[in-house]
Chain A
Amino acid sequence: MACEPRKGQSEIMEYILMIVFIVAAIIGFMLFLTWWNITQIQAQGFKDREDRVVALAQNMMNDYMFANGDSVFDDAKLTSVAAAGIGCDELSLIYGVDWYVNITALDMPMERKCDWNGYPNCNYWSFCTYQEHPESRSAYNFPVNVYRKATNRMSLAVMHVEVYT
């Protein structure tokens, strides 16, 4: 007769252990799902940043404020952006925030920054601010064409695009 309470106690213990195990399994599964979702979102964020670099380059190449159509940059337009006092705040309304672009025409042996006084004997333009140590960055180089208005010629150039977070 003394066996009955002990048997009952051990069955309850088994029962509670089983419940604890099931609850732990469910919580583990939920944590896994949450971790999986967060990982997916982080991966998507990285992909979005990569996509944004390409989109930024495509948009600038096709914007008549910088280019003449058919993805050809115009050196006089590129030089005039800074000369007109258009800074990163204004450009962020069109292209968003946290990016940096520079374009180097490969028709001169050295890099010469283009400004009002240096035009047309220059081959380097930059837009927005280069960040030394951002939290993360995605960057690409694209081969592009720059139309040299003064000489009526086309130059090969490299467009460097960076996007930060």
Chain B
Amino acid sequence: MIAVYRVFQMILGVVVSLSLLYFLLSYTGSYKLTQEELQKAEILSSFADEVRTVYLTEIPTNFTHFSRYDFSSCFVEESVKDIPQIRCEDSPATASIETPVLFYPGEFVFISRDVLDYGWWTFGYAEAMPETVFVFSPDGTGASWDVMTDMVRHLPDTYGEWSIVKVEFAFCDGDYLLYPCGGRACDRGDFLSMLGSGPSGSLLPCTAAVKNSTRLVTISNSCNPQRGVCIMPPNAKGVGNAFVAGTSGPYVYKDPLDLVALAIGGSGKDRMGKTWAEKLYVYKNTILAERLPMAAKIMARRFQLIADDVQEGPVCGNVYIELAQVLATIPDTVDYDDLGKMYDLNDKLNEAKAIYGSLLDMGCERSSEGYGM
């Protein structure tokens, strides 16, 4: 017969073992989750560092660490008081990212740098995107060709064997995708050369099936997109409307980067039902709306400050004053949904760029190579 203490020993053993097992399993589970989140935060931080490095060195690179976990819901979110954060919808992991970047998530992303050159000031930014084919469906007019050229110039160049991520370009003609570079999608250089030769006949509206990694960009005077992004060519002031499938309102664009943001984002939606195109468009314009008026104020003061002191004399001084006056009229806040205000802003930016060009021509301003030592 089993002694009472043996029964007690067995019951206690079972209870203690189960409790320990439960405790260890739950601790291991939460430890694993914590470590995963820490690693995610570390990867996001590495991404921010990599973007900064590309931005500063202008040397593009591939970022491969996103393949370790699911980062498909990650995006860069602007802040009203601090620098933007990169964060994910399904994770508490975040990282600060001070470099402006048009980011679309993927397992492997290509990071490159580009600029919007206003002459008197340059807005630098990075682009980070996974393997993508931009399929254009233009209406065959010269204006649509110009829009494509403007956009493609500001998209990454992944030419060569070294890049494991490819960003390529093709056309759509009715039910077919046209791969114009020897039956394959083109890299940026070849596609730009092709666009340089002008429109070659009209193409049928696109009805071909496209993959998720494809971004369909229709360029037409009449837009009602069922898929992808549709762009109406700009007016004489360089301002126009773009539409994204699944959203109601038009997106006013005033520079190629607006179109690039919409095209990279595409009409796919996040978990909140917002299109990636809208997210990138809003992010880009928030960042630019912070920096453009700040740069205009600083440069206006700079041109006033140096107008009297330049060695090149009063001719330069007068032009500096003229440029300062134009820059001083650039508004502090910019409403990107207002076509009229966009016309006005673009007029001022174009005028300032032209005046700055004349300063360079007269030798009043120098490129970085021209500094005296």
Taking Cβ atoms with an 8 Å cutoff, the residues of A that contact B are: 4-5, 8-9, 11-12, 15-16, 19, 22-23, 26, 30, 33, 37, 41, 48, 51, 55, 58-59, 62, 64-65, 68-70, 72, 74, 76-77, 79-81, 83-86, 89-90, 92-97, 116, 119-120, 147, 149-154
Contact = CB atoms under 8 A, between A and B. Distances in A.
9 contacts: A15-B9, A26-B24, A41-B38, A65-B291, A68-B371, A80-B301, A85-B297, A94-B290, A97-B82
What are the 4 tightest A-B residue pairs by CB atom distance, in nearest-first order? A8-B5, A80-B301, A84-B297, A80-B302
B59 interface: no
B73 interface: no
Interface residues of B, number: 51
B160 to A, nearest CB: 26
A114 B305 CA distance: 12
B31 A22 contact: no
Nearest to B296: A84
A48 B372 CA distance: 38
A85 B31 CA distance: 49
A8 B4 contact: yes
A51 B98 CA distance: 13
Interface of B: 3-6, 8-9, 12-13, 16, 20, 23-24, 27, 31, 34, 38, 45, 49, 52, 55-56, 79, 81-83, 96, 98-99, 121-122, 124, 290-291, 294-295, 297-302, 305-306, 309-311, 367-368, 371-373
Contacts of B294: 65, 84, 86, 90
Contact of A79 (B23, B99, B121, B305): B305
B300 A84 contact: yes
Given A86-B298, A92-B81, A72 B16 contact: no
